[in-house]
Every structure is written in structure tokens, then in C-alpha cells.
Amino acid sequence: MGKPTGFLEYVREIPADRPPLERVHDYKEFHLHLEEKQLRNQGARCMDCGVPFCHTGKLISGMASGCPINNLIPEFNDLVFRGRWQEALERLHKTNNFPEFTGRVCPAPCEGSCVLGINNPPVTIKNIEYSIIEKGWEEGWVIPNAPRSRTGKKVAVIGSGPAGLAAAAQLNAAGHAVTVFERADRPGGLLMYGIPNMKLDKNEVVRRRIRLMEEEGIKFVCNAHVGVTHDAAQLRKDFDSIVVCTGATLPRDLPIEGRAHAGVHFAMEFLTANTKAVLAGTEANISAKDKDVIVIGGGDTGTDCVGTSLRHGCKSVTQIEILPKPPTERTADNPWPEWPKTYKMDYGQEEAAARYGADPRVYLTTVKKFNADASGRVESLVTVEIKWGKNDKGQFVPQEQPGTEKTRPAQLVLLAMGFLGPEQPLIKALTLDTDPRSNIKADHNVHTTNLPGVFAAGDCRRGQSLVVWAINEGRAAARECDRYLMGATTLP
């Protein structure tokens, strides 16, 4: 597993990013790349640790620990160290259909559980993964791999996000005729419209993989909103099986005074409009240019709103976070190999700090009211500081702190507070059972719904989660769908 003494000889190196004040003027990917010698040294840091937690893929304290798709991390680290890149790519593709996606957007829970990370910076697993797949594309090793024979079975996959794409790829490899239905105008789901171009290039990365899947025999049907514009019952008649991978796209709202004012948008409205404009070479119809922007929500989506607003040329940007500022180091109740809940500056915050001089996040704060100008458009909002305390039921709830109200200018407000679950039209059209959180009811690693031959995977089954969990679920649902169709399966 790498060089036996590599972790003692080499320090952790990650590629530099393009300077923040340079990259905010375009939508090109901002990560730069390490030279091959540096990458091989990073592979050498992988220890002979005996029990590689990095690829265990467990949930600990409700968070991912290790790789949810069980990437063979020590193996590909060792192969990179030895310069055996094509073999490293073969190992990577055994578990991951789309390492070019995860190598860019995954938060790398594998690194959070790296054994070396107990007392040293962990191995640069994510960057090594990214480098393997990109070298594979450059060298022409990633080629269409159509099945040698077809089973005669037809499968419909509804949704073309990471779960849908993974299910489609696996079912196609098993020889079934796969058609993917996508309600948007382009395939990719979250990968196309939920993640900005500077994190995941649409033409050079997403479309590249979609084209390969089409060459392997997978059919994509866009502008097909099953349950709304396309009859779900007819789909059941036309196909031998269905895999539902529609995501959890129902956004959490903020029903406070002034919510209906113009200029208050869900984050995905803003991000989707922007990506469509970038792809069309036009101006976005929701613009942050010359505006005071306030983003409500502190997760990845909120960060993407910050970075996108800066690229529009906003006047200012503030990110409101109801939780406290994380500590700089792990606390006693967040031990290894749990995901480290520590403070970090993501790309959007780095860019805002470079432009305005400080992290744009405001912690332990919530919004009470939106104010509008004479035309009915939002012009400011009122915030109040909070602390977390227990209510009479023993539940932790935010408690407003008297005298801390503040009016902040805002001509654009973006709600990035997460998602409540899947949208319901398709679920109702198919009469699928749901759990108490409104997700499709189906057990993990089984994925069968109450309807024979209908499976569910990804965020629509588990709730909002990581791309890497979606791939895990898509692969598992494909395996069970293949078993249903054929009586047995050889899918991994």
C-alpha cells in the first residue's frame, strides 16, 4: 500500500487553486493540477495501516465515514505510486462509475477516516482519484463498453442525476435496454443544474460521460416529466421494470413576513438559471449584479450561491448560518474516524474574503422579516442572533436574543436551507408508499417499493445526501432490478 515509509518522507500536497480574484471573472473550473511525480509521492503516503477505514463506507453519528461506494483506495494509491496508471483506473472503475464527478464534488469522507489522519494530514485520496480518471480520458483508456448481448428486457430510469446515471450504466452493462427519462432539457440532473460550472464543467465533464453512455446504448429522453407530461401508468406497461431516481428537490422554505416579495428565490432557481445562461452564453434572468446579496443557509448550496453571486458582480454578499461557527480542530465528541466537523473556508467563502476582506458567513443568526421597496421588491431583511437551548420537551431549539435585531440591505435573497424530500407528482401517479419524511419507502440495498418491478434509489429514497451515496444507491438498485428481471445477478 504505497511506500512503507512514504508517510514519514512526504508531506501532504494538494494542487493550488486559481487566484480567487482571477477566477471570479469566469466559470472555468478553478482547481489546478499536480505534476505526476508529486502525485506518485502522494500515493506513497498511503500507509500499510492494516485496517483501511477509508473505504469502509459506514454511517457514524449520522455522517459518512469512509467511501460509501467502497473504492479500493489503498490499491489505487499503491498503483499510482508505482506509475501503473491504467491498472489504477481499472481498480477505480470497479466500484465507481463516475470518478470524474466524485473527484471534483465529493467532500471526501474517505480522507476524514484515513488512518494517517489520526495525527497527520490525511492522504490526498480525492485528488488522486481525480488524477487517475483524467489521465484515463487523456490517454484514451476510457472507451465505450457496450454489452456483448442483450437480454430483451427494457428498463426505464426516471431521473438522470448521479443515482439514475449509475443505475442506467449498471443495467445497461447487464444487457438490458435502458431508457433514462429526464424532466429538464439536458441530462445530468443535479450534476447538470445543481452544481455550478466552476465546480463541475458541463460540456467537458458531464456531457463527456453522457456521450459515452449513449455510445454504450443508453437512450436519454429529456423534457419528460413523468407523472406530469408523461403518463406514469403507460411507462409501467411499456417497460419491464422502473427505477425511480428523481432526487429530493422540494426546497425548504422560510415562511416569514415578506416572503412573497420579488427578489426572494430558492437557491436552485438561481443556480439553475445561471447554468442555463452559462451554457447558452447569455445573461442569467436572476442576476446578482450590483446587488447586496444575502444567502440564507450555510451548506454547499449556499457556498455555490456565494460563488455565483460574485461572478455576477454583486455589490456585497452575506451568508446567514443558524448554527454556531465550527471549531478549528476535532472536539472530544467528534473523534476519528467520524467526519471532522471543523471550520473551513470553501471556494465561495475564499473568494468573498479575497474581495471584501472577510468570511461572508454570519453564525448563530436567523431571519425574521423581509422588507420591500415601493414596487414590492425586497430591499432589506431583519436578522436576530440566537442561541441553542432546550424547550419544555427537551428538544434543542433556536432562542432569539433580545436586542440583537439588525436590518441588513438585500436586493436579492437566496434560500439555501436544504430540501424536505422528493416532489410528489410522480410518487402519487405511481401510487408509491412513502416514509414519514415523504421519501419513497424502500429499504437500503434492497430498493424495492410497494409496486413489483419498481425500485427507488438516491435522494428520493434516503433524503438529501452526497453524490457518492447516490452512486452507491443507483448501483444497488440496478443490482436488485437485474435480479428481479433475470432471477439472479452478477452485478457488483
What secondary structure does DSSP assign to 207-233, as a single string? HHHHHHHHHTT-EEE-S--BTTTB-HH
Q: What is the second-level CATH architecture of the domain 154-249+420-486?
A: 3-Layer(bba) Sandwich (3.50)
pLDDT 10s digits, 205-244: 999 999 999 999 999 999 999 999 999 999 999 999 999 9
Q: What is the second-level CATH architecture of the domain 6-139?
A: Orthogonal Bundle (1.10)
Q: Is the pLDDT of residue 483 over 90?
A: yes
Q: Is the pLDDT of residue 1 over 70?
A: no
**pLDDT, position 50:** 87
Q: Is the pLDDT of residue 487 over 80?
A: yes
Q: Is the dihedral of CA 54, 55, 60, 62 positive or negative?
A: positive
Q: Give the number of other Cβ atoms within 10 Å of residue 74's Cβ.
A: 21
Fold annotation for 253-417: FAD/NAD(P)-binding domain (3.50.50)
pLDDT 10s digits, 383-424: 999 999 999 888 999 999 999 999 999 999 999 999 999 999
Average pLDDT on 150-163 reads 98
pLDDT 10s digits, 38-56: 999 999 999 989 889 998 8
- Average pLDDT of the chain to the nearest whole number: 96
Q: Which 3 state secondary structure label does DSSP give 320?
A: strand
Beta bridge partners of 241: 155
**pLDDT, position 2:** 73
> Which uninterrupted H or E stretch holds 387?
strand 378-390
Buried b (16+ CB within 10 A) or exposed e, 473-487: bbbbbbbbbbebbee
Q: What's the rounded Cα separation, in Å, for the pair 235 and 175?
A: 20
Which pTM does this prediction carry?
A: 0.95
pLDDT 10s digits, 82-125: 999 999 999 999 999 999 999 999 999 999 999 999 999 999 99
Which pLDDT band, with edges at 50, 70 and 90, does 3 fall under? confident
Burial, 150: exposed, middle or buried (Cβ in 10 Å; 0-12, 13-18, 19+)? middle
**pLDDT, position 200:** 97
Q: What's the rounded Cα separation, in Å, for the pair 6 and 1?
A: 10
pLDDT 10s digits, 248-292: 999 999 999 999 999 999 999 999 999 999 999 999 999 999 999
Q: What's the rounded Cα separation, in Å, for the pair 47 and 3?
A: 7
Residues 6+ apart with CB under 8 A from 421: 248, 250, 437, 438, 439, 460, 463
Which pLDDT band, with edges at 50, 70 and 90, does 170 fall under? very high
Q: Give the number of other Cβ atoms within 10 Å of residue 148's Cβ.
A: 6
Residue tagged 461557527 (cell numbers): 325
Q: Using an 8 Å Cβ cutoff, are 245 and 447 in contact?
A: no
Cα Rg, the chain, nearest whole Å: 23
Residue 367 main-chain phi, psi, to 5 deg = -105, 135
One-letter amino acid for residue 166 of the chain: A
Parse the chain into domains and list their residue ranges. Answer: 6-139, 154-249+420-486, 253-417
**pLDDT, position 436:** 95
Q: Do domains 154-249+420-486 and 253-417 have the same CATH topology?
A: yes
Express as a percent the part of the chain with pLDDT over 90: 96
Beta bridge partners of 294: 318, 413
Q: Which 3 state secondary structure label does DSSP give 425?
A: helix
pLDDT 10s digits, 302-339: 999 999 999 999 999 999 999 999 999 999 999 999 99
